[in-house]
C-alpha cells in the first residue's frame, strides 16, 4: 500500500507511490527475450535463465573449495583428497542442495578412475569429482516425545537418486559407545558426568549408566534454560556429521544452508555468545582436537572442510527452484519451544526483513563474513570442537553480577578435574547460565543440609574420549624424563 504523507483529499501529492518490485521492465534481464517469471532482488528472470543463474551461483560457491588449497576462482581440474558427505535434513535447502549436486556432479558424469590420466586431461569434467558420495541424516525425534520419525521419508527421497549412499543416524548416538567405536573413536572406560550446579563443571565417573536415549533426555533436561536446547541439538548434530565424515575418509561436508538461513544462524550465534566463531559459521576447516593451520590444508586425512554452497541463494530462490524442478520436500517439524527461543525470534525477524528489504539479508551475511576475532584461539572447545578463546571463566567472573548466598560454598579439591577450562564461552554459558528452570531428570546426589545438591549430567562420547586422552598426555609429560624412547610409538 502507499504511505499516507498528508490529506489526499486536499493535497494531490499526499500519496507516496509504492516502489515497483522490479527496476526496469518485465522482460528477463539476461536473455532480453522472454517475459520474466520471478523477481530476485528487483531483477527479473525468466524460468530458463533463473535455473542457469542459480546453478552458476551454486558452482561459484562450491568449486573453489574442492581442491585442497583453495586459491580463488578455479583454473585447474577438481581433485579433492577424499569423499563427499551431504548433510540432509529434509528441509528446503538440503533438498535443493541434493538435487544440484546430483545434476552437476553425479548424473552427468562417469565414475572416477584413478590413474586414468589421459581421460582426465582430455575432459576432466567428464568424470565424477568424488569417488563416493554419502547422504547423512540425523533424526532428532528421540529428543522430543511424540515427534514423528521421518527416517523412512528421507530414505525414500535419497534413494530416488542414483549414486548416493544413505547413512541414517540418531541424535542420541552422541552418547552411544557403539557408534563412537564405529567411527574410529577410542573406547572410553565408563561414562563421565559433569556437575552442572558448579560453574567449575567438576568431572566424575557417572554412577548410573543408562541407554543412549535416556542419557540424551538427562542431558537436555539438565540445561538451565529452554533456549539452550535448540543450540545444543545443533551442536550434537554437527559433531555427529563431522565424525562420520572423518570415518568415511571424506574431505568435504556440504550443508544446505541458504542465504536466509545463514543470516539467521549468524545473528543467533552472536546473540548466544558465539561471536568468536562467526567465521567458522560461514566456512570451517575441522580437524579432530586441534586448530587447523595453513600447513594442515592439503594433507590427506587431516581436515574436513565444511562448505555451504547455497550461501548466496535466498530462500525465495530455493522455493522457486524446488517448485519448477518438482522436488519432494520432506519438511522439518518444529521443535517444542523453538519459536520462543533465540533462533525462532531471529528467524521471524530476518524473514520479515527479507520481504520488505531483500538486499539487507545478503548484507548481513557479507558483513558477518568479514568479521574475525582479534585474539588468537587458545585451543579447541572440547564440546563443540570449535576454536575457543582463553580464560573464559575468569572473564565471566569479572563481568557477571552474582548473588551472595548465606550458605557456605562447598570446597573444591584442586585434584578434581574440571571441564570449564576446556570450553568456549558459548558452551560454558549453555551449561551454566542461571534460570528459574531446575534440572528435573538429572542424577542428583545430596551433599547435606545447607549445601546445594550435586547434579551429575553425562557428557557426549567425544568429550569423555578427549578428557581421557588429555589425561594420558599430561601423565606422559610428567614422566617423560623417566620413559624410554620407543621408535614404533
Smallest Cα–Cα separation from 175: which of 230, 229, 224, 240?
Answer: 240
Tell me the chain's radius of gyration from C-alpha atoms. 26
Assigned C-alpha cell, 52:
542457469
Residue entry with cell 507511490: 17
114 and 183 share one domain? yes
CA gap 303, 300 in Å, rounded = 8
Among 341, 374, 407, which residue terminates a domain? 374
Residue 140 located in a structural domain: yes
282-298 b/e (C-beta count within 10 Å ≥ 16 → b): bebbbbbeeebeeeebe
346 and 265 share one domain? yes
Cβ within 8 Å of residue 484, ≥6 positions away: none
Measured CA distances, 188 to 12, 217, 467, 468 (Å)? 79, 21, 10, 8
- All residue ranges of the chain with pLDDT < 70 are 1-24, 70-76, 112-125, 190, 207-209, 289-301, 337-340, 393-416, 434-455, 471-489
Assigned C-alpha cell, 32:
532480453
CA gap 365, 379 in Å, rounded = 26
Q: How many domains does the chain have?
A: 2
Residue 21 located in a structural domain: yes
Measured CA distances, 265 to 129, 198, 243, 303, 345 (Å)? 30, 30, 22, 23, 11
167 neighbors 134 (Cβ within 8 angstroms): yes
34 and 57 share one domain? no
100 and 231 share one domain? yes
Among 374, 399, 417, which residue terminates a domain? 374
36 and 121 share one domain? no
| This prediction's pTM | 0.84
Residue 439: the pLDDT is 46
Residue 436: the pLDDT is 47
261 and 295 share one domain? yes
Measured CA distances, 213 to 108, 194, 302 (Å)? 42, 18, 31
35 and 59 share one domain? no
Among 45, 63, 80, which residue terminates a domain? 45
Residue 56 located in a structural domain: yes
Question: H or E segment at 348?
Answer: helix 342-356
Residue 204 located in a structural domain: no
Residue 197 located in a structural domain: no
231 and 335 share one domain? yes
Beta-bridge mates of residue 457: 194
Q: Would you give the end-to-end CA distance of the chain in angstroms?
A: 74
Residue 258: the pLDDT is 94
CA gap 31, 106 in Å, rounded = 28
* Strands of the 284-286 sheet, one edge to the other: 165-170, 133-139, 83-87, 250-254, 304-307, 284-286
292 and 331 share one domain? yes
Residue 488: the pLDDT is 46
Measured CA distances, 412 to 26, 202, 415, 416 (Å)? 72, 9, 8, 7
Residue 343 located in a structural domain: yes
CATH number of the domain at 296, please.
Answer: 3.40.50.620
247 and 114 share one domain? yes
CA gap 474, 269 in Å, rounded = 33
Residue 140, domain extent: 50-190+209-374
Residue 104 located in a structural domain: yes
Q: Which long-range contacts (CB under 8 A, 24 or more apart) does 57-63 make?
A: 57/312, 57/313, 58/100, 58/104, 58/309, 58/310, 58/313, 59/104, 60/312, 61/307, 61/308, 61/309, 61/310, 61/311, 61/312, 62/254, 62/307, 62/309
CA gap 214, 1 in Å, rounded = 54
Q: Quickly count: other Cβ atoms within 10 Å of residue 479's Cβ.
A: 9
318 and 369 share one domain? yes
pLDDT tens for 177-226 read: 999 999 988 877 767 788 888 778 888 777 666 789 999 999 998 888 77
Residues constituting the chain: 489
Residue 24: the pLDDT is 64
Residue entry with cell 561414562: 191
Assigned C-alpha cell, 238:
554437527
14 and 66 share one domain? no
Residue entry with cell 534460570: 435
Residue 247 located in a structural domain: yes
pLDDT tens for 122-153 read: 446 677 889 999 999 999 998 888 889 999 99
90 neighbors 154 (Cβ within 8 angstroms): yes
Amino acid at each position: 500500500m502507499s504511505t499516507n504523507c498528508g490529506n489526499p483529499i486536499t493535497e494531490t501529492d499526499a500519496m507516496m507511490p509504492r516502489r515497483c518490485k522490479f527496476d526496469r521492465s518485465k522482460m528477463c534481464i539476461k536473455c532480453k527475450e522472454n517475459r520474466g517469471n520471478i523477481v530476485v532482488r528487483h531483477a527479473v528472470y525468466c524460468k530458463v535463465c533463473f535455473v542457469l543463474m542459480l546453478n552458476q551461483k551454486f558452482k561459484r560457491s562450491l568449486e573453489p573449495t574442492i581442491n585442497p588449497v583453495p586459491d580463488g576462482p578455479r583454473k585447474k581440474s577438481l581433485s579433492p583428497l577424499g569423499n563427499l558427505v551431504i548433510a540432509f535434513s529434509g528441509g528446503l535447502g538440503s533438498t535443493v542442495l541434493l538435487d544440484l549436486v546430483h545434476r552437476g556432479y553425479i548424473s552427468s558424469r562417469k565414475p572416477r578412475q584413478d590413474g586414468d590420466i589421459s581421460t582426465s586431461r582430455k575432459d576432466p569434467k567428464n568424470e565424477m569429482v568424488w569417488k563416493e558420495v554419502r547422504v547423512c541424516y540425523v533424526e532428532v525425534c528421540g529428543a522430543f516425545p511424540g515427534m514423528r520419525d521421518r527416517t523412512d521419508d528421507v530414505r525414500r527421497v535419497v534413494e530416488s537418486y542414483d549414486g548416493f549412499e544413505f547413512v541414517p543416524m540418531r541424535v542420541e548416538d552422541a552418547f552411544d559407545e557403539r557408534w563412537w567405536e564405529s567411527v574410529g573413536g577410542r573406547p572410553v572406560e565408563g561414562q563421565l558426568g559433569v556437575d552442572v550446579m558448579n560453574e567449575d563443571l567438576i568431572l566424575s565417573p557417572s554412577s548410573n549408566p543408562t541407554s543412549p536415549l535416556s542419557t540424551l533426555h538427562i542431558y537436555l533436561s539438565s540445561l538451565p534454560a529452554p533456549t539452550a536446547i535448540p543450540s545444543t541439538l545443533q551442536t550434537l548434530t554437527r559433531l555427529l556429521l563431522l565424525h562420520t565424515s572423518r570415518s568415511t575418509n571424506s574431505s568435504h561436508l556440504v550443508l544446505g544452508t541458504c542465504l536466509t538461513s545463514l543470516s539467521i544462524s549468524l545473528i543467533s550465534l552472536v546473540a548466544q555468545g558465539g561471536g568468536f566463531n562467526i567465521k567458522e559459521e560461514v566456512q570451517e576447516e575441522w580437524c579432530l582436537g586441534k586448530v587447523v593451520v595453513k600447513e594442515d590444508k592439503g594433507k590427506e586425512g587431516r581436515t574436513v572442510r565444511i562448505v555451504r554452497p547455497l550461501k548466496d541463494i535466498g530462500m525465495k530462490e530455493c522455493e522457486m527452484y524446488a517448485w519448477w524442478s518438482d522436488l519432494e520436500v520432506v519438511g522439518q517439524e518444529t521443535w517444542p519451544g523453538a519459536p520462543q527461543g533465540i533462533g525462532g525470534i531471529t528467524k521471524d525477524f530476518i524473514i520479515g526483513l527479507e520481504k520488505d528489504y531483500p538486499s539487507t539479508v545478503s548484507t548481513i551475511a557479507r558483513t558477518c563474513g568479514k568479521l574475525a576475532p582479534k585474539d588468537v584461539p587458545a585451543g579447541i572447545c572440547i564440546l563443540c570442537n570449535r576454536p575457543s578463546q582463553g580464560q573464559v571463566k575468569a572473564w565471566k567472573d569479572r563481568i557477571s553480577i552474582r548473588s551472595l548466598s548465606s550458605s557456605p560454598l562447598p570446597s573444591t579439591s584442586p585434584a578434581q578435574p574440571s571441564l570449564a577450562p576446556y570450553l568456549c564461552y558459548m558452551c560454558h554459558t549453555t551449561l551454566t547460565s542461571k534460570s528459574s528452570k531446575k534440572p528435573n531428570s538429572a542424577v542428583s546426589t545430596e551433599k547435606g543440609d545447607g549445601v546445594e545438591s550435586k547434579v551429575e549430567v553425562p557428557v557426549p562420547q567425544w568429550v569423555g574420549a578427549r578428557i581421557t586422552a588429555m589425561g594420558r598426555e599430561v601423565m606422559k609429560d610428567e614422566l617423560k624424563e623417566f620413559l624410554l624412547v620407543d621408535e614404533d610409538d
